[in-house]
C-alpha cells in the first residue's frame, strides 16, 4: 500500500487531519498548524492550448452556440474568455 503524504498548501505543514468530504465526494483536510481547510480535488478549469483552440474557432466566424456545442463549454465561459482577451 502506498502512503500519500498530504501537506498544507499555505504553510506546507504535514500536520493535517481528515476533515470530511466535499459535496462532490473528494476528501477534505484541515491543517493543525494554520487552521486552513482544503481538499484534494483536482485542479479546475481548462488549459491554455484548449482556450486558444476555442478562441481560434470563434475568430474563424463560428457562432457562439456552435463553439460552445463543439467544445462542450458553456456560452458564459466563452464570453468570459473573450472579455479577458479583449474581443467582446
Helix (H) or strand (E) holding 83: helix 75-85
pLDDT at 23 over 90: no
Q: Are 11 and 33 in contact (CB under 8 A)?
A: yes
pLDDT of residue 87: 54
For residue 55, what are the CA distances in angstroms to 9, 26, 84?
Answer: 32, 32, 11
pLDDT at 43 over 80: no
Return the C-alpha cell found at 15: 500536520
pLDDT of residue 88: 55
Q: 3-state DSSP helix/strand/coil percent for the chain, to nearest 5?
A: 35, 15, 50
Give this prediction's pTM.
Answer: 0.56
What is the domain partition of the chain in residue ranges?
Answer: 1-41, 48-85
Give 30's DSSP letter: E
Mean pLDDT of 5-18: 92
pLDDT at 42 over 90: no
Amino acid at each position: 500500500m502506498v502512503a500519500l503524504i498530504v501537506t498544507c498548501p499555505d504553510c506546507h505543514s504535514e500536520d493535517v487531519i481528515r476533515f470530511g468530504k466535499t459535496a462532490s465526494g473528494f476528501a477534505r483536510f484541515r491543517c493543525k498548524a494554520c487552521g486552513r481547510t482544503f481538499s484534494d480535488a483536482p485542479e479546475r478549469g481548462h488549459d491554455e492550448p484548449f482556450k486558444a483552440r476555442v478562441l481560434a474557432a470563434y475568430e474563424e466566424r463560428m457562432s457562439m452556440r456552435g463553439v460552445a456545442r463543439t467544445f462542450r463549454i458553456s456560452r458564459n465561459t466563452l464570453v468570459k474568455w473573450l472579455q479577458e482577451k479583449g474581443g467582446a
